[in-house]
Structure 1
Amino acid sequence: MVRVENLHRSYGTGAAAVHALRGVSFDIPRGELVALKGRSGSGKTTLLNLVGGLDSPDDGRITIDGTDLAELGENGLLELRRDRIGFIFQSFGLIPILTAAENVGVPMRLRKADPEEREERVALLLALVGLADHAAQRPGELSGGQQQRVAIARALANKPALLIADEPTGQLDAETGLAVMELLRAVVRSEGVTALVATHDAQLLGLADRVLELSDGEIIEH
């Protein structure tokens, strides 16, 4: 599903250059949940941004479901991010003035999905994440764990092939974080999604099919 080959990414030039990634390579089979661990500054977010098509590498190759990202123009990358990849962020990223249901429906509005199809999908996803009774509530009326569940539902709206999550439990307490990670694990199985999740929580790492460890921009452990 995901193939990363000899990925390099640096910021700045000359002696001041920061080498965020140094020759990173790995594969992720379809339907697997892979956890990415490493200290702050190890290159996790840079790697997620590259795999998600939000940034471009200096060297190397990324293939998502057979599509080489380097061969896509800006419009192609936009379509890939909209239709094939779901993003989950530590800060939830919900729109405050919209209800939970409206937040989940945003990606389907962007691709101009049929309204009836959209409403059915939103109801299904809110039920999947255990928030069917909270559809009309706005983010400010929900707990942190509930907001992250809405964000997971939104990430699944367009039936993505790949989920990318950057420290999705970073703002949650340990118990809530574990519940959210277990939900992600269940979603990967039920929806047939592949997931790449950056986390530093050892308890959460145990739920992954495989763990990749980054240190100073290099994979040091599978």
Structure 2
Amino acid sequence: MTAPLLTVAGVHRTFGSGPAAVHALDDISFEVEPGTMVALVGRSGSGKTTLLNVIGGLDRPDAGSVTVDGVDVTGLDEDGLSRLRREKVSYVFQTFGLIPVLSAAENVGVPLRLARAEAAERERRVELLLELVGLADHARQRPGELSGGQQQRVAIARALAASPRLLIADEPTGQLDAETGLAVMALLRGIVESEGVTALVSTHDPVMMALADRVIQIADGHLLP
């Protein structure tokens, strides 16, 4: 039996205290098998982003544990969390998060520079990824010269640069029109299959839910059965 790539066990996260306390996550537990795409679905304020941040080590739970590829995320210090995000977990944000002064190729290469990859290997990987996301002809363009859909494709390529085990995408099509969003979602689906990545994607989009191997629903900090 294959071990889960992601295990979330009894996670709680509360913001504030007393009567004003907000229980963003309340006893969240689930597992995700390697090489699958999971859609995390819930309304705004349901706890989706908080959960993704806890899984990716951007936030710490008040109780419970998160394990990614055998690593106890909740037990890591800051150096360990930085290493986790360099080697095992990558993010794709709704707002793209590209560096405006760098070209598409340079943006994709940033994680490889941080990992101190050899220049030849870095160039080969960047070229491969830009081809994978259909932007080989746009390598030298800066984000401001690209459409929203193209920028999100660059962000996805950058997230894959260091060959992460887990790709976390927080509403990756939230700023895109329906047609472009569908293309990006289909790209993510294809990447899960071609790169062997495990993807956890928060979304409102029924098309993304249809493309996912599994749908997890969250409401008011609780998982729905």
- Deviation at residue 135 of structure 1 after TM alignment: 0.2
Tell me, in whole angstroms, the C-alpha distance in 2 between the residues paired with 1:171 and 1:55.
24
Aligned residues: 221
- Structure 1 residue runs of 4 or more that deviate by more than 4 Å after TM superposition: none
Secondary structure of the structure 1 residue equivalent to 2:34? coil
Tell me, yes or no, if structure 1 residue 178 matches structure 2 residue 182.
yes
- Deviation at residue 202 of structure 1 after TM alignment: 1.0
Aligned residue in 1 for 2:83: 79
Secondary structure of the structure 1 residue equivalent to 2:175? coil
Q: TM-score, normalised by structure 1?
A: 0.98
Structure 2 gaps of 5+ residues are none
Deviations 1:62-107 (A, max 9, x none): 1101111122211011100111111000000000110000000001
Once the two structures are overlaid, the 10-residue window that deviates more, 64-73 or 158-167, is: 64-73
Q: TM-score, normalised by structure 2?
A: 0.97
Q: How does 1:55-204 map to 2 (within 5 A)?
A: 55-204=59-208
Aligned AA (1:44): K
Of 36, 41, 56, the residue aligned with 1:32 is: 36
Of 11, 14, 29, the residue aligned with 2:15 is: 11
Secondary structure of the structure 1 residue equivalent to 2:144? helix
| Contact 2:47–2:221 (CA under 8 A) maintained in structure 1 | yes
Tell me, in whole angstroms, the C-alpha distance in 2 between the residues paired with 1:184 and 1:106.
20
Aligned AA (1:76): G
Tell me, in whole angstroms, the C-alpha distance in 2 between the residues paired with 1:201 and 1:71.
34
Once the two structures are overlaid, the 10-residue window that deviates more, 187-196 or 67-76, is: 67-76
Deviations 1:102-128 (A, max 9, x none): 000001111111111100000000000
Tell me, in whole angstroms, the C-alpha distance in 1 between the residues paired with 2:223 and 2:95.
26
Aligned AA (1:157): A
Indicate the RMSD between aligned Cα atoms, in angstroms: 0.6
Aligned AA (2:179): E
Tell me, in whole angstroms, the C-alpha distance in 1 between the residues paired with 2:22 and 2:120.
49
Tell me, in whole angstroms, the C-alpha distance in 1 between the residues paired with 2:136 and 2:155.
14
Paired-residue identity, %: 66
Aligned AA (1:189): E
Aligned residue in 2 for 1:22: 26
Tell me, in whole angstroms, the C-alpha distance in 2 between the residues paired with 1:63 and 1:160.
15
- Deviation at residue 136 of structure 1 after TM alignment: 0.4
